[in-house]
Amino acid sequence: MSAALLEVRDLRVELKRGKQQLTALDGISFAIAPGEVLGVVGESGAGKSLTGAAIIDLLVPPLKRTGGEIVLSGRHLDALSREDMRKVRGRRIGFIAQDPMTSLNPVLTIGQQLVDTIVTHLPVSKEEARQRAVRWIARVGLSDPARRLDQYPHQLSGGMRQRVVIALALCAEPELVIADEPTTALDVSVQAHVLQVLRDLHEETGVAVMLITHDLGVIAKMADRVAVLYAGRVAEIGPTSEVLRTPRHPYTSGLMRATVAPGLDRKALDPIPGSMPNLSSIPPGCAFNPRCARATAECRSQRPPLVDYRDGAGKHACFHPLEDGR
């Protein structure tokens, strides 16, 4: 895995609540190869968005990264100064924000926001940046791009704004883009268009994507590999087709069975019993053990390590993995 574009090792994020020190991310490890799409799934609160924010150092206090390594093309991001980290954001790692309705500055034009981002990172003139901005607007599929530059966010619809957000994330030509639930805030009919734009740009530019979502359907369509998070830990990671067809971790399998998919009758819907624990009450051993039918005494006392299966194509953290995905 030395050829990885981004490598995250043993990432820890903690927060202080009162006198309690709580662990939000507990030893997250994964890697993204150049040009790859890594899906990151899990329930709300599993730590998906936190992982993304921790990588680009955008954690909001009291959340704090307290350990682990983040390496981008051989460069340790975890040791960078504030100013050096700023230069990485946007230029090396783009970020697609979740809610297009609130993520664009309401009092600046689309063009100003694009041009600002471009000239911050690339050695081009304002005029050149403006021309690039026009091209980016066209690339994300908005009509009449030259006129769009002078419009304000409130003059665009939600789907159009999310396209602008994507253009903003990619306009300084990063090698990796972190897409934090890019379609969650959109209407279903618009979601497909926005995903298509993201996919087209991924194919055109070769940018690697870390796609954070709770939607397994989106993962199935977009991701080469998928990481399943649970309670701030990686439950399972591997090639998407492999993980979705024959999940090893009981949690992944539970997620699959709880997913609403067209063509399934009502009986097939099978929610996972219980709910994900609070940060303050993560059980000892495997975090999933209270909800797991296969849990044993070992699961309740020891935390299962992330181990390889199938010659390292994938990894899971389970003492009693499923063999046939059931």
Partner 1 sequence: MLAYASGRLVQTVLVLVIISFIGFLLVSNLGDPLASLLTADSTAADRAAMIKALHLDEPITTRFLSFFGGLLQGDFGISYRSHEPVAKLIAERLPATVELALASLFITLLVAVPAGVHCGVHPRSALAKAIMFGSIAGVTLPNFVVGIALIGIFSVKLGWLPSFGRGQVVDLGFWRTGLLTASGLKAIILPAIALSTFQVALVIRLIRTQLMEVGLSDHVRFARARGLTDNRIWYVYALRNTLLPVVTMLGLQLGNIIAFSVVTENVFAWPGLGSLFLQSIQAADMPVISIYLILIGAMFMVINLFVELSYPLIDPRVLRRKA
The residues binding partner 1 (CB under 8 A) are 56, 58, 60, 86-91, 94-95, 97-99, 102-108, 113, 116-117, 120-121, 152, 154, 165, 168-169, 172
Q: Which position has the token pair 């389970």?
A: 318
CA 190 remoteness from chain centre? 20
CA angle 59/63/69 to nearest 5° reads 70
Residue placing its CB nearer to partner 1 in the complex, 29 or 184: 184
Residue placing its CB nearer to partner 1 in the complex, 60 or 188: 60
Nearest approach in angstroms of CB 110 to partner 1 is: 12
Nearest approach in angstroms of CB 62 to partner 1 is: 13
Nearest approach in angstroms of CB 129 to partner 1 is: 13
Q: Which position has the token pair 């044993």?
A: 296
Number of Cβ within 10 Å of residue 240's Cβ equals 19
Residue placing its CB nearer to partner 1 in the complex, 85 or 220: 85
Nearest approach in angstroms of CB 94 to partner 1 is: 8
Residue placing its CB nearer to partner 1 in the complex, 79 or 108: 108
Residue placing its CB nearer to partner 1 in the complex, 27 or 100: 100
Nearest approach in angstroms of CB 55 to partner 1 is: 11
Expressed in angstroms, the distance from the first to the final Cα of the chain is 30
Residue placing its CB nearer to partner 1 in the complex, 97 or 129: 97
Collapsing DSSP states into helix, strand and coil, what is residue 95? strand
Residue placing its CB nearer to partner 1 in the complex, 159 or 254: 159
Strands (E), the chain: 6-17, 20-32, 37-41, 64-72, 75-76, 93-96, 176-180, 208-212, 225-230, 233-239, 307-309, 314-316
Measured CA to CA in angstroms, residue 101 lies from 3, 53, 156, 165, 185 at distances of 37, 19, 10, 10, 8
Nearest approach in angstroms of CB 119 to partner 1 is: 10
Nearest approach in angstroms of CB 170 to partner 1 is: 10
In the sheet that holds 75-76, the strands lie side by side as 20-32, 6-17, 64-72, 75-76
Q: Which of 132, 136, 113 is nearest to 122 (CA)?
A: 132
Cβ–Cβ < 8 Å for 209, 40:
no
